[in-house]
Amino acid sequence: MIDSKTKLYCIFGKPVTHSKSPLIHNACFQKHHMNSVYLAFEIDEISDGVKAMRTLNIKGASVTIPFKESIMKYLDEIDEEALSIGAVNTVVNRNGKLIGYNTDYKAAVSPLRPFCIMNKKVCIIGAGGAAQAVAYGIHKEKGKLVIINRNKERGKKLASKYNAEFISMDKMNQTEINKDAINKTGIINADIIINTTSIGMSPDIETCAFPSTLLDSRMIVMDIVYTPLKTKLLSIAQSKGCTTIDGLSMFLHQGAAQFKLWTDILPDIKLMRQTIIKENN
């Protein structure tokens, strides 16, 4: 029961109505009999969210699109790994001091480790906060990065950080791309494709983050979008015989790491997964 002693946690984003974070975190609070509640706040400016944390004594926050980078300048302290990544997805309110962390990168590489990332060509679609974390993780695992992005300036900036190749989304989306052009980009030789953008996320479920003509059966295709679980990209990739990884694994692992930062309790990921599956049925 919510009362005057209830601790408040939340997620800041735009859009955020699709988020399953309230579902999994509230399930974990209930499991551990904690007088806490987790809510979703859709805001226009992250500065307002940070101000709310201070004013309302919000104990912890998840940060999602499009605020993972912009929130950093409003925090009191940032963890070294989050600083290296250049993005924050978790905030802990420690006695009024707001500290930023990033739980995305470990959660992103975890489902890829069984396939061996070292020396594999890994194409990351996007250059925002999630891409920053995924690129950091792939780089630590010694994968060969290629960055694909609409905004050339942002894409090139991320690529240069890891001495990676950059390819503009415009070039990828050319409908009459010929075989020579494909070979010149090197994309056809990619081992792993990872979509870190919101392309394909509900309600725009018919959009695909990567040209279907460039997918082949030997590729591993991962999408961090988890609403829907099988995005257009994953559906097409599966039809072409690719190995596919949906966004639920990364979502659950980064969420579990957040819960541990806030409460010092490592939650049951099986419970979190079952909670989402039950809600979807």
Catalytic residue among 31, 59, 68, 120: 68
- Binding annotation for shikimate: 19-21, 64, 89, 104, 226, 254
- Tens-digit pLDDT profile for residues 52-103: 999 999 999 999 989 999 999 999 999 999 999 999 999 999 999 999 999 9
Residue 260: active-site member: no
pLDDT at position 224: 95
- Architecture per CATH, 7-102+251-280: 3-Layer(aba) Sandwich (3.40)
Can you list the residues of the chain whose pLDDT is less than 50? Answer: 175-176
- Tens-digit pLDDT profile for residues 104-125: 999 999 999 999 999 999 999 9
In the chain, where are the structural domains located?
A: 7-102+251-280, 106-246
pLDDT at position 181: 55
pLDDT at position 189: 78
- Binding annotation: 19-21, 64, 80, 89, 104, 126-130, 224, 226, 247, 254
Identify the CA nearest to 103 among candidates 252, 227, 220, 229. 252
pLDDT at position 175: 44
Predicted TM-score (pTM) of the model is 0.87
pLDDT at position 1: 74
- Binding annotation for NADP(+): 80, 126-130, 224, 247
**CATH says 106-246 is which class?**
alpha beta
pLDDT at position 180: 54
- Please check whether the two domains, 7-102+251-280 and 106-246, share a CATH topology: yes
